[in-house]
């Protein structure tokens, strides 16, 4: 169960966020409406939300998942792989301390780690080695996790930006997977629910207290999730997709 959510209001600079997409710049007013709807979907799951103010100097700061990782035992301040996002950690740490007190850990140079590359399955954390998360960052994270009785395993990425671009753990042994993750041996022990390639964006969704929050417009994926017995909430994230963002990116859940 999750009790708390940390999210951040999108800044107006969002329109200049990092993007590999070719869909144009986000519409800021629409992005704000979508963010409010996203928060409403989270509230329906019975969580308390700490909403942080916008950071105008950091266009991608709405994606709070990357600069921090929340576990049962500690909060971890990461070191994002994109230089333009490093400053976000200074404002996320005080938020973590409200919940974790002194149990705050840090990823340090030369390690880099985006927590969008980290997927929690119970007390085991899968860490994507990617363009944003390097070997040193992953190694530091594993050391931190083991300090608190948890474990970590590195998963090399070949095609996607972040591990959770193509994966979502829905609890109860169910793993939503797309593309390169469908046949990865690291996940063979889980019940893999394959996402059609045409709906691969929907692989980025979140389980929150029995409900799966997913992007709208992906009927095959939605049907497969409902067949597993989950309640589903759909949210429009079209403006965030334009800056390489998805459902999981906009919240810390713990």
Which positions are annotated as active-site residues?
Answer: 162, 249
- How is the beta sheet containing 167-169 ordered, strand by strand? 167-169, 174-177, 191-194
Could you give the C-alpha distances from 249 to 69, 143, 149, 224, 253, in angstroms and in order?
12, 24, 26, 22, 11
Q: Which of 221, 76, 247 is nearest to 165 (CA)?
A: 247
How far is it, in rounded angstroms, from Cα 138 to Cα 108? 11
Residues 162/127, Cβ–Cβ less than 8 Å = no
> Which residues contact residue 125 at a Cβ distance below 8 angstroms, ignoring those fewer than 6 apart?
71, 118, 119, 141, 145, 150, 151, 152, 153
Both tokens of 87, joined, read: 């400053």
């Amino acid at each position: 169960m999750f009790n708390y959510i940390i999210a951040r209001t999108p800044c107006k600079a969002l329109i200049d966020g990092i993007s590999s997409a070719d869909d144009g710049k986000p519409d800021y007013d629409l992005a704000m409406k979508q963010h409010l709807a996203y928060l409403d979907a989270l509230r329906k799951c019975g969580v308390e939300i700490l909403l942080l103010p916008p950071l105008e100097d950091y266009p991608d700061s709405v994606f709070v998942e990357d600069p921090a990782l929340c576990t049962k035992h500690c909060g971890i301040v990461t070191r994002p792989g994109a230089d333009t996002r490093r400053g976000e950690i200074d404002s996320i740490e005080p938020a973590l301390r409200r919940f974790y007190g002194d149990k705050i850990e840090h990823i340090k140079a030369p390690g880099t780690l985006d927590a969008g590359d980290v997927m929690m399955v119970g007390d085991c954390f899968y860490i994507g080695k990617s363009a944003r998360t390097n070997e040193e960052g992953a190694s530091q994270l594993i050391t931190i996790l083991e300090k608190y009785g948890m474990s970590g395993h590195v998963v090399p990425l070949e095609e996607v930006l972040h591990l959770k671009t193509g994966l979502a753990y829905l609890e109860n042994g169910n793993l939503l997977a797309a593309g390169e993750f469908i046949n990865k041996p690291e996940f063979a022990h889980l019940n893999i629910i394959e996402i059609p390639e045409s709906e691969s964006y929907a692989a980025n969704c979140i389980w929150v207290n029995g409900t799966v929050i997913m992007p709208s417009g992906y009927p095959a994926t939605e049907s497969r999730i409902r067949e597993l017995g989950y309640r589903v909430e759909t949210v429009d994230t079209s403006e965030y997709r334009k800056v390489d963002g998805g459902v999981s990116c906009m919240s810390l859940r713990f």
